[in-house]
Amino acid sequence: MDKFHIRGGRPLYGRVSVSGAKNAALPCMAAALLTAETVTLHNVPYVRDCMTLRRLLEDLGATVLTPELRTHKISAAHVEVLEAPYELVKTMRASVLVLGPLVARFGRARVSLPGGCAIGTRPIDLHLEGLKKLGADVSLEAGYVVARAPQSGRLRGAEIEFSKVTVTGTENLMMAATLAHGRTVLRNAAREPEVVDLAELLNRMGARVRGAGTDTIEIEGVESLTGAEHTIIPDRIETGTFLIAAAITRGELEVKNCRPEHLAAVIDKLRAVGVEVEEINQSTLCVSGKDRAFVARDVVTEPYPCFPTDMQAQYMALMTQAEGTARITETIFENRFMHAAEMMRMGAQIEIEGHTAIVHGPTPLMGAHVQASDLRASASLVLAGLAAEGETLIDRVYHIDRGYEKIEDKLRAVGAAIERIR
């Protein structure tokens, strides 16, 4: 298992470029199952989760060509297997995104239940309830979801109200509804930019999706969808991670190929803390932590457009360097503070009270041997290591490879002393 070795205390200076958003690429790749024609996706990030989904699509019988590293040409003309096996789904729960498209186009699917992960049980009950409302017969067999369209072979449009905001639940049902007979309305839908990006691709494929980005999405079913070409949006979480990397190392970074409008809540919060963040244009941010005193600010994670749960761990790292006490409340997942214990081993002062972490700062961080537990926790430990005095060794960096493209190369290019130990 690879490790990262970091020598901290060096301010970052220079320019970083943001890759495509993993959480937009995954549903867009799954959407290719809705048509027999080729879907071409550009700016797909070179990360493990996208490789995993590519392999799943190929196991289903689709062909995936990559004429360039970040361009995927997906053709699902000859899909014979309608099953997503446990071995694969357990490594990446987003595989559940093939469920909606498979049932909608082929009338049947057998997808392993994803099982929990480090940050929580993460059920998919809302996905399944929605499929049933669209007329599918859904049963659980030996840890697998088996879903079948009605006798007619086609799902039927329906009104679906989510009892809780679910990003992939919204995406799964939006995809399923594109080929259903009639009109579907999704209420209390997720508003994340990744949902909007998927809707743009679906409409390019001939779907009729309206309202993506709001909490009510309407889909008029059509007979079939065509191929399309689409460029994946930049990753707003990678962008936020680099903003904090500059702040916590007291450096200055120019962040290119990003979309500031997709992380307004994060930018507002960092400015309130005292980080200097300047929007140069629609795709460039300049951030500085130089000679800045940071003030502790509370935060509550909530669905978009509020402060994202995927930035909570990174923000906690910054709060260890801020003056005062910050209360960080996690409302999305039940167990997403595992990074706190590792940061405490580096000298942070954090108390956990239920869903709230209370961070007292500033405290000097000392390098240590730490362990990553999930994707964003790993990123927060990299940030802590960059700010810490001395050397930090981070185990299990495969977590970080799931969602960050060559993060050590990007950080080294702006002055970080970080190397991967295989």
375 binds ligand EPZ (CB under 6 A): yes
How many positions of this chain bind ligand EPZ (CB under 6 A)? 23
294 vs 307 by CB, closer to ligand EPZ? 307
164 vs 271 by CB, closer to ligand EPZ? 164
Instruction: Please give the full DSSP string across 328-379, using - where no structure is assigned.
Output: EEE-S-SS--HHHHHHHHTT-EEEEETTEEEEEE----B--EEE--SHHHHH
Q: Which of 31, 126, 158, 195 binds ligand EPZ (CB under 6 A)?
A: 126
Three-state DSSP state, 405: coil
Read off the DSSP letter of residue 233. Answer: P
- 140 CB-contact burial (10 Å; exposed 0-12 / middle 13-18 / buried 19+): exposed
**What is the distance in angstroms between the CA of the first residue and the CA of the last residue of the chain?**
7
Question: Cis peptide before 234, with omega less than 30 degrees from 0?
Answer: no
Binding mask 185-204 for ligand EPZ (x = CB under 6 A): ---------x----------
372 binds ligand EPZ (CB under 6 A): no
Binding mask 257-296 for ligand EPZ (x = CB under 6 A): ----------------------------------------
Binding mask 9-38 for ligand EPZ (x = CB under 6 A): --------------x--x------------
Q: Which of 105, 127, 156, 399 binds ligand EPZ (CB under 6 A)?
A: 127
Pairing of strands 324-330, 356-361: antiparallel
Q: CA-CA distance, 174 to 218, in Å (whole number)?
A: 9
Which residues are CB-contacts of 66 (< 8 A; sequence separation ≥ 6)?
A: 72, 73
310 binds ligand EPZ (CB under 6 A): yes
212 binds ligand EPZ (CB under 6 A): no
CB 399 within 8 A of CB 1: no
28, 117, 258, 306: the active-site residue: 117
Backbone angles phi, psi at 149, to 5 degrees: -70, 165
Q: Which of 55, 90, 110, 122 binds ligand EPZ (CB under 6 A)?
A: 122
- Sites for ligand EPZ among residues 393-422 (CB under 6 A): 403
306 noted as active-site residue: no
Binding region for ligand EPZ (CB under 6 A) out of 34-42, 118-126, 344-352, 404-412: 118-126
Which residues are CB-contacts of 409 (< 8 A; sequence separation ≥ 6)?
A: none
Instruction: Please give the full DSSP string across 193-216, using - where no structure is assigned.
Output: HHHHHHHHHHHHTT-EEE-BTBSE
Binding region for ligand EPZ (CB under 6 A) out of 150-158, 161-169, 256-264, 322-330: 161-169
124 binds ligand EPZ (CB under 6 A): yes
Q: Encoding tokens for residue 378?
A: 């790993």
309 vs 380 by CB, closer to ligand EPZ? 309
Binding region for ligand EPZ (CB under 6 A) out of 6-14, 77-85, 124-132, 390-398: 124-132
309 vs 321 by CB, closer to ligand EPZ? 309
CB of 416 to ligand EPZ, least distance (A): 22
Residue 171 neighbours by CB distance under 10 Å: 32
Q: CA-CA distance, 304 to 290, in Å (whole number)?
A: 30
Which residues are CB-contacts of 32 (< 8 A; sequence separation ≥ 6)?
A: 39, 41, 57, 62, 74, 75, 76
CB of 281 to ligand EPZ, least distance (A): 26
Q: Which of 333, 337, 343, 400 binds ligand EPZ (CB under 6 A)?
A: 333
**Given 3-state DSSP classes, what are the helix, strand and coil percentages for the chain, each rounded to the nearest 5?**
35, 30, 35
132 binds ligand EPZ (CB under 6 A): no
Catalytic positions: 117
* Residues engaged in binding ligand EPZ (CB under 6 A): 23, 26, 94, 120, 122-127, 164, 166-169, 194, 309-310, 332-333, 375-376, 403
